[in-house]
Amino acid sequence: MKSPVEDYLAEVLASVREDRSGAVADYIPELATAPADRLGIALCTPDGRVYAAGDADTTFTIQSISKPFAYAAALIDRGPEVVRRSVGVEPSGEAFNELSLEKESRRPKNPMINAGAITTHQLLVSADAGGDERVHRVQAFFSQLANRELVIDEDVCASELSSADRNLALAHMLRNYGIIDVEPHRAVVGYIRQCSVSVSVRDLAVMCATLANAGRHPQTGETVMDAAVARQTMAVMAAAGMYDSAGEWFTTVGIPAKSGVAGGLIGALPGQCGIAVFSPRLDPHGNSVRGTRVFARLSDDMGMHLM
């Protein structure tokens, strides 16, 4: 039986369903074949209950939504000092695939842009960890957060690797400046495997609810991360999760969020819930068009805006 919450979520999806504006990402060839009309939503409350509507069980690659969770893992593994030495916390005001390094330190401005995420991936586990260990760490951490075993979509991963010139260029620059020391191709392989973990909006809502819940998993009750790590992660999402539309997002929707180029979009409402929407067509910033509209509607209806 559907609950009134699920009826409401279905109605919100219906209100944006006819919007076919935007375009699916095609710089990763495999993503261009995605069924563009898919539309799903899930919301996870602090007691672990999940409310969902639409294509809530369709899986897609996590892409940039991996970035806040990998950042949280790096903060856990290496501590805030070490992480801050390599990656900043300022919005870049630029697209996700720009280099966006700070002038003097040459650190990437934040962990939500590709340069920052490639760097963050290299911080995982320990200074001398191997590439496989780091990929295993994020995959296991994401699975712990989702409360089920997540797998890597090898087709999307191979497809992205076949057209990774831009990320390779970023990794070469990062190594040139001494921000990473691993061979650039290996750095990009690790980062792209991280982006290729396959999830549904149900998974993402539960993952995100752990952030909203100050690091305590809403379903297992485990403390997955310290409250300070969850807070720092959400703070960086608020500042930079929506790239060069972060300010627009925060004025209209007003909650920490992160988008992914496969069409996923998450929002964490501190102390209340994690929300995830999936709709593959993107706006020019790389954010889901209908996902953004759904969040704007939820924010208005439920008074979610933090200000």
Binding site for ligand DON (CB under 6 A): 63-64, 96-97, 114, 160, 167, 192, 195, 259-261, 286
For residues 34 and 15, what is the distance between their CA atoms, to the nearest angstrom?
22
Q: How many CA atoms lie within 13 A of 154 on its CB side?
A: 0
97 labelled ligand-binding? no
Question: Minimum CB separation from ligand DON for residue 114, in Å?
Answer: 5
Q: Which is nearer to ligand DON, 51 or 69 (CB)?
A: 69
Which among 16, 50, 64, 87 is annotated as catalytic? 64
Residue of this chain nearest to ligand DON (CB atom)? 64
Structure-token pair, residue 37: 């009309």
Question: Minimum CB separation from ligand DON for residue 167, in Å?
Answer: 5
191 labelled ligand-binding? yes
64 labelled ligand-binding? yes
261 labelled ligand-binding? yes
Residues 154, 275, 287: CA angle, nearest 5 degrees? 60
Q: Which is nearer to ligand DON, 64 or 213 (CB)?
A: 64
**Residue listed under structure tokens 């994401």:** 142
Question: Minimum CB separation from ligand DON for residue 8, in Å?
Answer: 27
Tell me, yes or no, if 27 is annotated catalytic: no
For residues 219 and 46, what is the distance between their CA atoms, to the nearest angstrom?
8
Q: Please answer whether residues 273 and 212 qualify as being in contact, where contact means their C-beta atoms are separated by less than 8 angstroms.
A: yes
Q: Which is nearer to ligand DON, 174 or 192 (CB)?
A: 192
Structure-token pair, residue 148: 């089920």
Q: Which is nearer to ligand DON, 8 or 27 (CB)?
A: 27
Nearest to 137 by CA among 75, 185, 188: 75
Nearest to 87 by CA among 124, 55, 115: 115
Q: Strand runs (DSSP E) across the chain, as ranges?
A: 40-44, 50-54, 60-61, 198-199, 257-259, 264-269, 273-278
Question: Minimum CB separation from ligand DON for residue 83, in Å?
Answer: 20
For residues 70 and 82, what is the distance between their CA atoms, to the nearest angstrom?
15
Which among 51, 67, 197, 236 is annotated as catalytic? 67
Bridge partners of 223?
216
Which among 83, 201, 243, 253 is annotated as catalytic? 243
Tell me, yes or no, if 261 is annotated catalytic: yes
114 labelled ligand-binding? yes
60: helix, coil or strand?
strand
Tell me, yes or no, if 64 is annotated catalytic: yes
Q: Which is nearer to ligand DON, 86 or 114 (CB)?
A: 114
Residue 11: Cβ-neighbour burial (10 angstroms; 0-12, 13-18, 19+): exposed
Question: Minimum CB separation from ligand DON for residue 104, in Å?
Answer: 26
Active site residues: 64, 67, 191, 243, 261
- Write out the binding residues: 64, 114, 160, 167, 191, 243, 261
- Write out the binding residues for substrate: 64, 114, 160, 167, 191, 243, 261
